[in-house]
Structure 1
Amino acid sequence: MFCEANVSIARHLAGGGVMLGVLAVLGGCQAWSPAPEGLDVERVKKSFVERDCPAGGCATVEVGSLRFPGAPGLSERLRDDLLSMGSGITNGESEAVVSSWEEYAQTFFDEAKAARERVPELPGYQAVFKAEVYDRHAELTTIKLDSYVFTGGAHGMPLTEFMVIDEREKRVVTLDDMLREGQTPAYREALSRAHLRWLEEQQAGADFAESWPLSMNRNVAPFADEWRVRYNAYDIAPYSYGQPELRIPAQALEGIVKPRYLER
Structure 2
Amino acid sequence: MLRFTTPLGVGITLAGVLLLSGCLAADKSPSKPFSLAALAIEKQYVAPDCQDEQCSTVTVSALEFPQAPALSEALQTRLLTLGMSISEEVGQPAQSWDGYAERFFDMAEEDNRTAPGGMTSEALLEATSYARHNDLFVVELNSYVYHAGQAHGLPLTEFMVIDERERRVVEPDEMLIDGQEAAFDALLVQAHQRWIGDMGFDAQFTVNWPLSQSRNIAPLEDHWEVTYNVYEIAPYAAGQPTLTIPLAALEGVAKPRYLGR
**Is TM (by shorter chain) over 0.5?**
yes
2:192 aligns with 195
2:24 aligns with 11
What amino acid is aligned across from residue 21 of structure 2 in structure 1?
S
- Cα RMSD (Å) of the superposition? 2.2
2:94 aligns with 98
Paired with 2:154 and 2:175, the residues of 1 have a C-alpha distance of 29
Distance 1:196 1:124, change over 3 A: same
Distance 1:196 1:12, change over 3 A: closer
The answer to which structure, 1 or 2, has the higher relative contact order (CA under 8 A, 6+ apart) is 1
1:111 aligns with 107
TM-score (norm 1): 0.86
Aligned to 1:109, the other structure's residue is in SS state helix
**Residue 80 of structure 1 is aligned with which of 64, 77, 80?**
77
Residue 138 (1) aligns with residue 129 (2): no
1:2 aligns with 2
Give the 5 Å matches for 1:1-264.
1-5=1-5, 6-11=19-24, 16=29, 21=34, 39-53=36-50, 55-89=52-86, 95-119=91-115, 121=117, 123-152=119-148, 153-263=150-260
Paired with 1:10 and 1:194, the residues of 2 have a C-alpha distance of 38
Distance 1:199 1:124, change over 3 A: same
Q: Which digits, 9 at most, give the CA deviation of each residue in 1:206-249, with x for residues without a partner? A: 11110000000000000111000000001100111110000000
Q: Which digits, 9 at most, give the CA deviation of each residue in 1:92-114, with x for residues without a partner? A: 79945311011110111011112
What amino acid is aligned across from residue 234 of structure 2 in structure 1?
A
Gaps of 5+ in 1: 22-37
What amino acid is aligned across from residue 201 of structure 2 in structure 1?
A
Aligned to 1:149, the other structure's residue is in SS state strand
Decide which moves more: 217-226 or 112-121. 112-121
Paired with 1:232 and 1:110, the residues of 2 have a C-alpha distance of 26
Identity %: 44
Q: After TM superposition, what 4+ stretches of structure 1 lie above 4 angstroms from structure 2?
A: 12-15, 17-20
Gaps of 5+ in 2: 6-18
Q: Which digits, 9 at most, give the CA deviation of each residue in 1:74-100, with x for residues without a partner? A: 11110111000111335x799453110
Q: Which digits, 9 at most, give the CA deviation of each residue in 1:148-204, with x for residues without a partner? A: 000132210000000001123432112210100110000000000000000000110
TM-score (norm 2): 0.87
Paired with 1:234 and 1:121, the residues of 2 have a C-alpha distance of 29
* Contact 2:136-2:164 within 8 A present in 1 as well: yes
Aligned to 1:181, the other structure's residue is in SS state coil
